[in-house]
Every structure is written in C-alpha cells, then in structure tokens.
C-alpha cells in the first residue's frame, strides 16, 4: 500500500490551483506581471520538495525545504497584492492563502525535525 505524502500532495495541488488561477486572471484582465510572479513562486514549492527528496545530504535537504518555505511565503505576498489590487476575489484569496499557510507549517515542522537530527 502506497503511503500518502501530505506535503507532496498539497504542494502539487497548490501548484495546480495557482496555474489555473493565473491563467484565468491573464485571460480576463491581461495581467501578466503579478500572475507570472505568482506562477513562479507557487509552482516552485513542489518542485523544490521533489528536489529535496533526492538531496545529497541532510543539510542539502534542509536547504531545499527552506527555499521552498521562502517561495511559499512569497506566494502569499503575491496573493495579498493581487487581492489588495482587486485582481483576486476575497474568497479565492482566503482559500489559497490558507493552503499556503498549511504548506508553510508542514515545511517548518519538517525543517525543525530535520535540524534536530543533525
């Protein structure tokens, strides 16, 4: 039986949501600067986690997850900015911000646990 990896699942799901949202905003408003930034940071989280799965060392693993955490925090910034400028409705904003906050908490727990075992 395959074990479900919550971080892998949530980061991939978040990336899909971000890509769909940004495509929709680009189609409707022709907004490309903010959506391109959000797409980069929102999809980087899962990609960095996938890299971390094959890290060369525990320190490399922690480093990659720390960068993923920063990308997730950056995604929240772009979501905040898009909501504040009327590019994103509050309901979708709160949904995505909540998802990102959960991912940050998961990453933080893994990083803390990994640092403790160094």
Each residue of 49-83: pLDDT tens digit?
Answer: 999 999 999 999 999 999 999 999 999 999 999 99
Give the Cα separation of 52 and 99 in Å (integer): 20
Decide if 108 contacts 65 (C-beta within 8 A): no
pLDDT at 12 over 80: yes
Q: What is the pLDDT of residue 53?
A: 95
The structural domains of the chain, ordered by start, are 6-116 (1.20.1440.60)
Q: How confident is the model at residue 1 (pLDDT cuts 50, 70, 90)?
A: low
What is the C-alpha to C-alpha distance for residues 89 and 38, in angstroms, rounded to an integer? 15
Task: Tell me the average pLDDT across 92-117.
Answer: 97
The tens digit of pLDDT for each residue in 31-40 reads 999 999 999 9
Which residues, at least 6 apart from 113, have a Cβ–Cβ distance to it below 8 Å?
none
Mean pLDDT of the chain: 96
Going by C-beta distance under 8 Å and a sequence separation of 6 or more, which residues neighbour residue 89? 83
> How many CB atoms are closer than 10 A to CB 43?
20
């Amino acid at each position: 039986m395959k074990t479900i990896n919550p971080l892998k699942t949530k980061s991939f799901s978040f990336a899909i949501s971000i890509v769909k949202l940004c495509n929709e905003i680009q189609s409707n408003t022709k907004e490309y600067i903010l959506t391109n930034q959000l797409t980069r940071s929102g999809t980087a989280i899962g990609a960095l986690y996938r890299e971390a799965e094959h890290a060369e060392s525990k320190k490399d693993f922690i480093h990659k997850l720390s960068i993923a955490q920063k990308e997730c925090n950056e995604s929240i910034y772009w979501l905040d900015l898009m909501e504040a400028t009327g590019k994103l409705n509050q309901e979708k904003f709160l949904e995505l911000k909540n998802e990102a906050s959960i991912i940050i908490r998961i990453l933080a727990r893994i990083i803390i646990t990994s640092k403790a075992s160094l």
